[in-house]
Structure 1
Amino acid sequence: MDLEIDALGLLCPLPVLRLRKRMMPLASGAQVRLIADDPAAVIDVPHFCNENNHLLVDMTDTQGTMTFVIQKA
């Protein structure tokens, strides 16, 4: 994992905005783990990946805490 982003406690759209900002300097192929508890993240993160051609490698939900693994395009 190249980067881990803790977005716990942040509400839409902040988890995705933080993800976008932190991914910008990374090289193509880098993997990022995003941890969020905003219910909207389950919609927002896949949409962000789709819009930017990033690969959503994994998405898990453990008692309301979601973990996303994204590979940069």
Structure 2
Amino acid sequence: MTHAEAVTVDARGMRCPWPALRLARAMRDADAAILLADDPRAGREAAALAAEHGWTIAAEGEARWRVCRG
């Protein structure tokens, strides 16, 4: 899957749990998402959500993660 096919979830300025909630909502209809979140806890919460659903997650820089199904 290319970056163009990933949905962007811009949760900058939002405090947890909102970035994870927005990510979960986006992943209902998408196979991949880019999460942009500046809350220091967002990475941990997104990783926990990904583990719960069997998604992969990889950091792509500061405050940016790529989440994919399977």
Normalised to the residue count of structure 1, the TM-score between the two structures is 0.81
Which protein has the bigger strand share?
1
Q: With CA pairs under 8 Å and 6+ residues apart, which has the higher RCO, 1 or 2?
A: 1
- Hey, what's the Cα distance between the residues in 2 that align with 1:31 and 1:51? 16
Give me the whole-angstrom Cα distance separating, in 2, the residues matched to 1:60 and 1:38.
16
Q: Calculate the aligned-residue CA RMSD, in Å.
A: 1.3
State the match for 2:66 in structure 1: 69
Return 5+ residue gaps in structure 1 as ranges: none
TM-score (norm 2): 0.84
Residues of 2 paired with 1:23 and 1:16: CA distance?
Answer: 10
Where does structure 1 differ by over 2 angstroms across 4 or more consecutive aligned residues? Answer: none
Letter in 2 for 1:70: V
What corresponds to 2:43 in structure 1?
42
Q: Which runs of 5+ in 2 are unaligned?
A: none
| AA of the residue aligned to 1:59 | A
